[in-house]
Structure formats: structure tokens, C-alpha cells
């Protein structure tokens, strides 16, 4: 079966899925489990060619990293959903209001699938951003249409081939294509829409979805801050941040973006960060362990941020040390940009690549104020052993999620919701909360045989005591 990449074909698949959903009625546990298992089988069957496709698309991405981040990460979500969803399906009994609670009335909340869900993935984690939400979409009993990112065309084509191989398109389909197809995708009357990507594109997706009143789950990003408290072990913090910054060449939505370090500890921290990163990546150019920047456009963007900050007076440290290679090489060492001007692009825009900002601070309250003066980030990180300071940071900031004394680990929790807030997104997937995100919670009230309203004077024509009886119930 060829992969559709035109708007009419997309509309036809969606219409067929929605008709099949309506005809099938309730989606039992066996059907949901079979669909989840099919997605698992797909990744197991195609894991090697998918890893090779991602390596080729990035121009250098270690197959082991692709397996860990995208294949195993997706499998973990799918298996968690498969092994836990059935109790989540059960109706939730509720207590009817008085006096019907005493008269034999019943009430419950049905947890029903919504129908057909569109999932727009992104290039930086091209499998995970499709299959992790798909896990909870299928667990909730929905059908789905996937739109892989065109920035990684080999991976997108292989996803389409694999899905076509194992799935009936009435259950899970794929459409491929560029921004025009993405715009058409967001404009379809899905029953729910999931988008992973930039805040700017997320706004466009939400505007398009609004025309059909389609609910959206947006997993965006932002400048995720990292606070190094004075009580932190600098070497440990530096190593864990270095490992996080090195993952996928810094091209992850929960990557640490701005690091706040006490001013008197700044030089020691920078030295520790350089040592830790160089220990993980002794060289940059040609190093198969270091993921390349995905394309020339993004490379130019990141290099431009660093160059502009340097021209404006910021200090830039590079690790590992050495000349940045040209000649088509898109691997870059980590550039540490220290105290850039507040109006520089690297302070305004999400870096999404192998660079990081380090800012010195004198007082933790000033750090909190600076974080709160920015858009809400997808992640926040705190390093330190001061329990009171840790609680202050948690209580006075807002972010999609938090890791303490580590970076990015909260996003790997399968039994806890993952998502953003404000400019970093809305909605969530993972765990029971993800299951509920893609479910309709439908209240059902079943009346008793006996209805006392007329004999109690609660129906027209109202008697002389009706108003007084109502007023008597207006109490604090």
C-alpha cells in the first residue's frame, strides 16, 4: 500500500477511521491489547533499519543511542500501557445527589475512547514522539494517524512502510510530506490532535485545530533552566549536565538550556563541566558517539546564536578544545556561553543544540525571579542538598516537570504524566493521566423508579410554600 501524502487521501483515511470507530462501538480490552502488541512487534521487527535510517538522516547518530532513546523509549511506553490499561477502563462509580442517593439512583463515569487521533511527530526524537503518545492513544481505545517529520525523510518513509506492513490503516495509518501536509493535517477534524515541536508551530497547530474545535495535546519546549545551589556537589552536577547536554547533540526538548551558578562558584563549575564533557566526548569532529546537528539550517542557527553572543562580549568556552571542523561536518563541541547580554538571541530562543548558557548569581531569589520572568519551561532542574532551598524553588516556579540532582530523568517516568505548561505546551501523556488525556469521561445518571418531585411541590404549578422552601436552603 502506498503512503498517502495528499490532503484528499488524508481526509479519506480519517473519514474511514471515524466511520469504522462508530460502527464498531465499544472497544474491548483484547482489541486494545492487540493493537498495542502490534506496535510493539513493529518496533522489534524494524529496529535495525530504523536505527540506520536515523543515523543517515542526522548525518551521524549512533545506532545504539537511537535504539536507547527512540526504540526502547517507545517500547517502554507501549509495554507500560499494555500491562496497565485494563483497570483504567473500569467505570468509576459516583454518589448521586440528595435525595436521589437515598431513593435507589445510580451514577458512574464511563471512560470512552474519543475516536481517531492525529499525532504529529518531530525530527529530534522521530520515533518516540510518535509511538510514546500512540501507546496511550491505543490503550484508550482510539485509532490513529501518524505524521512523521519531513526533516528526517528516510525515517519517515520507513515508519510509513512499517505501519503499512503490520497495521490495518483503519486502525493506524501514516501520512508523509512537508509543511503543506503538516498544515493540512492540523486542519482535519480529528477527535484529538497531538503535536510535538516548537512553540511557534504549536500556536499554528492550535489555531488550525480550533476551526474544528479539536482538543490538542501540545508538547513544545522552551529554555529549561538548571539551578546549581551552593550546597550542590559541583563535579557531580557538572557530569550529569554534561551527559544531558551530550545526549542527541543537545537536540532534546527537555535539554538544560540555561544554567544558574553562584558567582563565586562559576569558574569551578565551568572547569568541571568542560572536564566532564571532554571525558564523554574527547573529540567532536567524526566522533560516532556524538550526534550531529540534524541539518545545515539548524547548524547555522546554533552557530549564529553563539557568534552573536561572543560579538556582544560574552565569554565562550569550548569543550573538547579544538578547531570546529568545516567541510560538511555537523558535529559540534559544546559551546559554554557565559553571561551573554540579556537581549542576545541565545538568551531569548531555545538553543536546541550543542551550546549552553551559564549565568552567575548572587541570590537564589533573583534566579527564581529571572525564571518566572520568562515563558514557562518544559523542564526545570535543581542541584543541591539544601532542603529548604529546594522546596523554595519548587514552590515558587512552574514548569512542565522537574528533576532534582539530575536532568531529563522525569521525562522517562512511564507511571507519571509528561507534558508542558503555558508556552511549553498543554496536556500530557504517559501513565494513567495519558490514558485519560485521550479518553472521554462521560457521566451517566440512572434514575430510580420513584420520583418525589411532584408530591414535594418541586414542579409547576408551584405552591405557596415553594419559594420559602428554596430560600431556607440558601445557607453558608
Report, as residue numbers or ranges, the catalytic residues: 219, 253
> How far is 39 from 106, CA to CA, in rounded Å?
38
For 60, residues 6+ apart whose C-beta sits below 8 A from its C-beta are: 288, 290, 291, 292, 330, 331
Residue 40 DSSP SS3: helix
Under 8 Å between Cβ of 173 and 11: no
Under 8 Å between Cβ of 162 and 42: yes
> How far is 278 from 242, CA to CA, in rounded Å?
9
> How far is 272 from 266, CA to CA, in rounded Å?
10
Q: Which residue has the cell 547548524?
A: 299
Nearest to 259 by CA among 275, 278, 272: 272
Torsion, Cα of 226, 54, 144, 424 (10° steps): 20
Rounded to 5 degrees, what are φ and ψ at 426? -155, 150
DSSP annotation of 12 reads H
Under 8 Å between Cβ of 173 and 146: yes
Length of the chain: 476
Strands 216-219 and 315-319, by their bridges, are unpaired
Distances (CA, A) of 63 to 157, 248, 258, 354: 18, 11, 29, 19
Distances (CA, A) of 158 to 65, 126, 150: 18, 11, 12
Nearest to 259 by CA among 240, 278, 280: 240
Residue 196 DSSP SS3: strand
Q: Which residue has the cell 508542558?
A: 420
Strands 192-196 and 172-174, by their bridges, are unpaired
Amino acid at each position: 500500500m502506498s503512503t498517502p501524502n495528499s490532503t484528499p487521501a488524508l481526509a479519506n483515511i480519517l473519514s474511514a477511521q471515524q466511520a469504522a470507530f462508530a460502527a464498531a462501538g465499544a472497544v474491548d480490552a483484547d482489541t486494545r491489547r492487540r493493537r498495542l502488541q502490534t506496535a510493539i512487534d513493529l518496533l522489534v521487527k524494524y529496529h535495525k533499519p530504523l536505527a540506520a535510517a536515523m543515523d543517515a538522516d542526522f548525518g551521524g547518530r549512533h545506532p545504539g543511542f537511537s535504539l536507547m532513546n527512540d526504540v526502547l523509549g517507545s517500547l517502554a511506553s507501549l509495554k507500560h500501557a499494555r500491562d496497565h490499561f485494563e483497570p483504567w477502563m473500569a467505570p468509576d462509580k459516583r454518589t448521586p445527589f440528595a435525595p436521589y442517593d437515598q431513593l435507589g439512583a445510580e451514577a458512574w463515569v464511563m471512560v470512552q475512547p474519543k475516536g481517531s487521533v492525529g499525532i504529529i511527530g518531530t525530527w529530534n526524537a522521530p520515533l518516540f514522539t510518535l509511538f510514546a503518545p500512540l501507546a496511550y492513544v491505543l490503550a484508550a481505545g482510539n485509532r490513529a494517524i501518524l505524521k512523521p517529520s519531513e526533516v528526517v525523510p528516510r525515517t519517515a518513509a520507513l515508519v510509513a512502510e512499517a505501519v503499512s506492513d503490520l497495521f490495518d490503516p483503519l486502525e493506524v495509518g501514516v501520512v508523509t510530506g512537508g509543511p503543506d501536509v503538516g498544515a493540512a493535517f492540523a486542519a482535519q477534524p480529528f477527535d484529538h490532535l497531538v503535536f510535538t515541536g516548537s512553540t511557534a508551530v504549536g500556536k499554528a497547530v492550535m489555531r488550525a485545530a480550533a476551526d474544528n474545535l479539536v482538543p490538542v495535546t501540545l508538547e513544545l519546549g522552551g529554555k529549561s533552566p538548571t539551578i546549581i545551589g551552593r550546597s550542590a556537589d559541583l563535579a557531580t552536577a557538572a557530569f550529569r549536565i554534561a551527559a544531558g547536554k551530550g545526549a542527541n547533540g543537545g537536540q532534546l526538548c527537555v535539554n538544560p538550556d540555561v544554567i544558574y551558578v553562584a558567582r563565586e562558584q562559576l569558574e569551578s563549575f565551568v572547569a568541571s563541566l568542560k572536564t566532564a564533557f571532554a571525558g564523554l566526548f574527547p573529540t567532536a569532529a567524526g566522533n560516532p558517539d556524538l550526534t550531529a546537528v540534524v541539518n545545515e539550517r539548524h547548524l547555522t542557527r546554533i552557530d549564529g546564536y553563539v557568534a552573536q553572543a561572543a560579538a556582544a562580549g560574552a565569554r565562550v568556552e569550548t569543550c573538547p578544545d579544538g578547531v570546529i571542523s568545516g567541510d560538511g561536518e555537523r558535529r559540534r563541541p559544546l559551546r559554554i556561553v557565559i553571561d551573554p547580554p540579556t537581549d542576545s538571541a541565545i538568551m531569548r530562543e531555545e538553543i536546541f543544540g550543542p551550546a549552553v548558557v551559564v549565568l552567575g548569581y548572587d541570590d537564589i531569589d533573583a534566579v527564581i525571579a529571572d525564571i518566572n520572568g520568562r515563558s514557562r519551561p518544559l523542564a526545570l532542574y535543581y542541584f543541591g542538598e539544601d532542603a529548604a532551598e529546594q522546596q523554595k524553588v519548587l514552590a515558587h516556579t512552574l514548569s512542565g516537570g522537574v528533576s532534582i540532582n539530575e536532568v531529563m530523568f522525569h521525562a522517562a517516568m512511564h507511571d507519571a504524566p509528561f507534558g508542558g505548561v503555558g508556552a511549553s505546551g498543554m496536556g500530557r501523556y504517559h501513565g494513567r493521566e495519558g490514558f485519560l488525556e485521550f479518553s472521554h469521561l462521560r457521566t451517566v445518571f440512572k434514575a430510580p423508579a420513584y420520583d418525589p418531585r411532584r408530591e414535594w411541590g418541586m414542579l409547576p404549578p408551584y405552591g405557596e410554600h415553594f419559594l420559602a422552601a428554596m430560600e431556607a436552603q440558601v445557607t453558608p
